[in-house]
Amino acid sequence: MPQRFKLTDRTALIVAVAAAYPAVGYSAPAAQVDFAVGDVTAVGANGQSRTLGKGAQIEQGDTVNTNGGRAQLRFTDGAYVSLQPQTQFRIDQYRYEGKSDGNEKGFFSLLKGGLRTITGLVGRSNKRNYQVSTSVATIGIRGTEYTIQYGQSVTGTVGEGEINVCNGAGCLSVVNGESYYVQNQEFKPVLTNKRTDLPPPAPPTPPTHFASSENVDNSGQLCDLNNDCGSPALEEPPAPPPLLTGKFSASIAVAHTPFTGNGSHVGATVYSGSATFDNGKLVSMTDNGGAGTVAPGTTSLVEGGGDQFISWGRLINGTLGGTAVSTGDHAGNLFSGNESFHFIVGLPTVTLPTMASVTYTLLGATAPTFSSGSGLVGLGSLETLTLLANLSSGRSTGSFSMSLKDPTLNLISFNGTFSGGAVFSGSGTGTGTICSGSCSVAMNGFFAGANAERAGVSYQVQTPGCSTGCTGVGVAALKR
């Protein structure tokens, strides 16, 4: 188990470092190297490269490259950043003048590799002033210890505190003990059960000033790859969680708004079939539970996510591909603007495990889309969704609770029950400022994974607060 820094330890570190450094100007060094093992270099904003050793100063604009070695940086605000081998880390903008008053800044880029950090005083007063960016996602903080591993995708784990992981598809809040995964810019960040542990060395006692010196241990022996000064051995970071790929039997749920040419048709359904995915991206799937197929075609994926058990997304602004065989098939239909086709696909649960009481919580979801009698489409947000399930004798029964906001940000809370087998359905009623006691929800879903590790649902809500009545639809993935 990698070493963890408790809140009291972390606070003590920050206080000690803050006391050691006098107030400094904007042009002062951003950090110093606590230790460097192997061929660790920095390239300055002027393009000049230099070798880094213990006590070396790091400036704004520097890109630190650990090559085959590793290094630990200590910033003037008390933050620690431990860089793993084959890592490139750039200090884009840094400002700390000895106090946390909202004017401090810490903007960094992880170009490749991995890091573990304990954040300092930058961003305490104004959290928008701290960010670590990759080409896949950005990390914002609320005071924390966390890891990032970045290759073609991004993974990481929060040890203490909370971070926000965001990209073009949406944001995810990750708290103590949780891990996250971002496939690419097209997929919203999701939670995963795969930890990313990058074991850190114990931070040394901060000196009272920056001083360049050889990188040696307490006995005066030079630190190198044969003598790492007592730092713990590195562990290879875990591989990113696998995603659905290839052709397989599938449980499928879809939901859609009214669409061009069929302004009265809206719904949510669930069925069994087959699907083909390419590393988490939908290629095609059975349409409407029949012989037809449906594919993204010329539509655009605006939200999505998934793991090795389940995948979901929302398609807009284009014509669905595939082959239409019978009435009700969606292939060939045009979805204009925000008219939306929601889908969620999972590896089917063939036999339900015998578990009397199981709780499923929200893993990820599409933004619910609302339409009225005039055909207008607006986006809401799914705030919470929880299933309490009783799985026994091949049957599933249970209750659910969910809350969502409509496009005008009215909060609607639903409670209901569901029943069935590995595929289930349910219904419930809702309360909210626009409900007047008459909101309702219909839910269709399935359990996914050999041991029902996941659940997927499509839902349709009726919110008659609009002049002609409102309907909202969406899909959501849940984890056990």
Question: Per mean pLDDT, which of 437-441, 459-463, 468-472, 474-478 is the most reliable?
Answer: 474-478
Same domain for 290 and 158? no
Residue 270 lies inside a defined structural domain of this protein: yes
pLDDT per residue as tens digits for the range 122-168:
877 778 889 999 888 889 876 678 899 988 789 988 888 888 899 88
Among the three residues 176, 192, 208, which one is the final residue of a domain in this structure?
A: 192
DSSP one-letter string for 263-327? TT--EEEEEEEEEEEETTEEEEEE-TTSS-EEE-TT-EEEEEEE-SSEEEEEEEEEE-EEE--ST
| Domain total of the chain | 2
Same domain for 187 and 332? no
- Residue scoring higher pLDDT (168 or 20): 168
pLDDT per residue as tens digits for the range 34-73:
989 888 999 998 889 999 999 999 999 999 999 888 899 9
Same domain for 251 and 183? no
Give the SS3 label for residue 342: strand
pLDDT at 347 over 60: yes
CA distance 257 to 267: 7
Poorest-confidence range of 14-23, 169-178, 272-281, 288-297? 14-23
Tokens 């701290």 belong to: 130
Residue 256 lies inside a defined structural domain of this protein: yes
CA distance 320 to 441: 27
State the pLDDT confidence band at 7, using cuts at 50, 70 and 90.
very low
Same domain for 132 and 257? no
Same domain for 251 and 151? no
CA distance 283 to 275: 8
Same domain for 286 and 403? yes
Looking at residue 64, its amino acid is V
Strand order across the beta sheet in which 310-319 lies: 300-306, 310-319, 334-346, 246-256, 267-278, 281-286, 293-295, 321-323
- Cβ neighbors of 307 (< 8 A, separation 6 or more) are 181, 190, 192, 241, 242, 243, 363, 454
CA distance 34 to 202: 11
Residue 373 lies inside a defined structural domain of this protein: yes
Judging by DSSP bridges, how do beta strands 170-175 and 145-150 pair with one another?
A: unpaired
Residue 391 lies inside a defined structural domain of this protein: yes
Same domain for 186 and 318? no
Same domain for 178 and 252? no
Same domain for 88 and 12? yes
Residue 211 lies inside a defined structural domain of this protein: no
Residue 217 lies inside a defined structural domain of this protein: no
Judging by DSSP bridges, how do beta strands 130-133 and 105-118 pair with one another?
A: parallel
Same domain for 261 and 136? no
pLDDT per residue as tens digits for the range 71-104:
999 999 888 999 999 999 999 999 988 877 778 8
Judging by DSSP bridges, how do beta strands 130-133 and 138-141 pair with one another?
A: antiparallel
Do 362 and 386 form a contact (C-beta atoms < 8 A)? Answer: yes
Do 188 and 172 form a contact (C-beta atoms < 8 A)? Answer: yes
Q: Tell me the residue range of the domain where 354 lies.
A: 246-479
Q: For residue 442, what are its two tokens?
A: 């219909």
Given this model, what pLDDT does residue 437 score? 64
Question: Per mean pLDDT, which of 125-134, 185-194, 306-315 is the most reliable?
Answer: 306-315
Among the three residues 177, 192, 207, which one is the final residue of a domain in this structure?
A: 192
Residue 158 lies inside a defined structural domain of this protein: yes
Contacts of 164-171 with C-beta under 8 Å, sequence gap 24+, read 164/139, 164/140, 165/137, 165/138, 165/139, 165/189, 166/137, 166/138, 166/140, 167/136, 167/137, 167/138, 169/302, 169/303, 169/304, 169/305, 170/303
Beta bridge mates, 268: 255
**Quick count: other Cβ atoms within 10 Å of Cβ 479?**
20
Residue 231 lies inside a defined structural domain of this protein: no
For the segment 303-314, the average pLDDT, to the nearest whole number, is 89
Same domain for 346 and 471? yes
Among the three residues 157, 175, 192, which one is the final residue of a domain in this structure?
A: 192
pLDDT at 181 over 80: yes
For the segment 308-329, the average pLDDT, to the nearest whole number, is 91
Mean pLDDT score of the chain: 81
- pTM metric for this prediction: 0.56
Q: What is the number of residues in the chain? A: 480
Question: Per mean pLDDT, which of 208-217, 308-317, 463-472 is the most reliable?
Answer: 308-317
Instruction: Of 161, 22, 147, give the one whose Cα is nearest residue 83.
Output: 147
pLDDT at 239 over 50: no
Same domain for 266 and 146? no
Buried b (16+ CB within 10 A) or exposed e, 412-422: bbbebebebeb
Given this model, what pLDDT does residue 58 score? 94
Judging by DSSP bridges, how do beta strands 439-448 and 31-37 pair with one another?
A: unpaired
Question: CATH code at 117?
Answer: 2.60.120.1440
Do 306 and 243 form a contact (C-beta atoms < 8 A)? Answer: yes
pLDDT at 393 over 60: yes
Question: Per mean pLDDT, which of 93-102, 188-197, 421-430, 466-475 is the most reliable?
Answer: 421-430
